[in-house]
Amino acid sequence: MEIRNKSRRRKTLLASVTAAGAFVVVYFANAGYHDLLLNKVGLSQALVDALGAFAAVLVSFEVHQLLSIARYRDASYGAENALRHAREAAEARAAVATEVSRSLDDVPHLNSILVGQLNAVTEQTEAAALGMVQRLQGVDSVVQDLDGVVQSFSRESSEIVAAANSRAARNQRTLEDLQAYIHRRLANVGEEQEHVMSALAEAKSLSQFVNLVREISGQTNLLALNAAIEAARAGDAGRGFAVVADEVRKLAGQTDQAVVKINEGIDRVIKTIESKFSAQLDQSISNAEESALHTVAEQFNEVSQSYAELLDHENRILGVFRESSARLADMFMETMASVQFQDVTRQQIGHVIDALQRLDQHVQKLSDCLTGKAAASDIPAMTEQIDRLFESYVMERERDEHLRRSGRSAPVASPGSQNGPAVELF
């Protein structure tokens, strides 16, 4: 556009200078010119006019040559400079186009290197993922074995717990029987003690009767002694009565001796009872026996409670084992799912590789266009390439990132294209 404007200005200036020169020559030199050539030289009118026009044009040409040299430093109103500059610019553009074409020819090599690097990354990540999967499969085998051990241990423990509960129930019944025996034993001890105390009381009550008989014997002996004294005072009349009194006194003495022996026998019986049943009569011993039996019962009860607590603790441990085994299995499955990132990475890198290959084709067409091997109409729009890349995505995250980076809305899908699933996992 600028070159066209400069050319238009040069043409206008050239026409203006030529017209001005001719006007000046014709206006100021017309009279003297005709007088000289017609009257003095004798030329014809037509020749004089032709020579005048020639001279006017020649003068105008020389004038605009001088003006062009003074203004543009050349005789063609800058056309030579413009042509030289245009030639230099064309040569520069040709050099740039050659260099750009050479650089564009090198872009596929760079893209090939990048594609190779991306393929290497894909292979490395795939190998790493496969190694992780193999190791996780080994972990899964260990987890399965551990789960089998836990399940077996859980079944055995359940059987042991059931047997232990049965033994605990039997122990509880034995403890109840022991407690019932303690109560019966204490009741029997109380009854035996009451019987012994009653027998002792009865035996001791006999001592009162013995003492009463002994007192009566003493009174009889005293009465016989008084009767003998009175018979002695009576003389012969009381001699028979004295014999009776003497016999009564002898009987009283024998009675006293019998009473003493009976009293001694009763004492021996009391001592025998007390010695034979001293353990039953000793309340402290009964209390000690009761305390010992209660202590045994309490210890037995504590053992049963400790056993029950041990079983409960074992059940809790088994519950923790089962829960940990289940959590470990869940974590393993989650880890296996997370390993599938490699497939996602492979698909994304594959899309980048496809885009680089399409970019290679596009760059090759640009290079051909710069070197004249192809027309500009053969080069597809870059937006078309971008839309084709968008249609190749299979994950929603790729589409969102594409739209965010490009600042555009989702393109209309071409006929027959489908977005497909969010991602295809192996």
pLDDT score at 292: 64
The verdict on pTM exceeding 0.75 is no
Residue 106 lies in a domain: no
Residue 378 lies in a domain: yes
Q: Does one domain contain both 192 and 322?
A: yes
Rg (CA), the chain: 73
Residue 424 lies in a domain: yes
Q: Does one domain contain both 293 and 364?
A: no
Half-sphere CA count of 55, side-chain side, radius 13 A: 13
pLDDT score at 139: 72
Residue ending a domain, among 60, 77, 94, is: 77
Q: What is the pLDDT along the chain (426 residues), one digit of tens a residue?
A: 555 666 677 667 666 766 776 677 666 766 676 666 667 666 777 777 777 777 777 777 777 667 667 666 666 655 666 677 777 777 766 776 676 666 666 666 656 665 666 776 677 677 777 777 777 777 777 777 777 776 776 677 677 767 767 776 777 777 677 777 777 766 776 677 777 777 767 766 766 766 777 677 777 777 777 777 777 777 766 667 666 767 776 777 777 777 777 777 777 777 777 676 665 545 544 566 667 666 766 766 676 676 667 667 667 777 777 777 777 777 777 776 666 666 777 777 887 888 788 778 877 877 777 777 777 777 777 777 778 778 877 778 778 877 877 776 655 554 444 444 444 444
pLDDT score at 374: 72
**Residue span of the structural domain in which 187 resides:** 149-327
Residue 408 lies in a domain: yes
Residue 305 lies in a domain: yes
Contact in structure between 349 and 121 (CB atoms under 8 Å): yes
How far is Cα 228 from Cα 234, in angstroms, rounded to an integer?
Answer: 10
pLDDT score at 425: 43
Q: Does one domain contain both 166 and 291?
A: yes
Q: Does one domain contain both 65 and 170?
A: no
How far is Cα 352 from Cα 402, in angstroms, rounded to an integer?
Answer: 12
- The encoded tokens of residue 341 equal 């990132």
pLDDT score at 415: 46
Q: Does one domain contain both 322 and 278?
A: yes
Burial call 337-370: b when 16+ CB within 10 Å, e when fewer: eebeebbbebbbbebebebbebbbebbbbbbbbb
pLDDT score at 423: 41
Q: Does one domain contain both 405 and 319?
A: no
Q: Does one domain contain both 72 and 181?
A: no
Q: Does one domain contain both 303 and 187?
A: yes
Q: Does one domain contain both 189 and 314?
A: yes
Residue 343 lies in a domain: no
Burial call 289-323: b when 16+ CB within 10 Å, e when fewer: beeebeeebeebeeebeeeeeebeeeeeebeebee
Residue ending a domain, among 327, 343, 370, is: 327
Residue 15 lies in a domain: yes
Residue 268 lies in a domain: yes
Query: Which residues lie below 8 Å from residue 386, measured CB to CB, with a gap of 6+?
Result: 406
CATH number of the domain that 304 lies in?
1.10.287.950
Q: Does one domain contain both 270 and 398?
A: no
Residue ending a domain, among 307, 327, 347, is: 327
Nearest alpha-carbon partner for 425 in 313, 346, 320: 346
Q: Does one domain contain both 323 and 379?
A: no
Q: Does one domain contain both 313 and 371?
A: no
How far is Cα 58 from Cα 35, in angstroms, rounded to an integer?
Answer: 21
Number of domains in the chain: 3
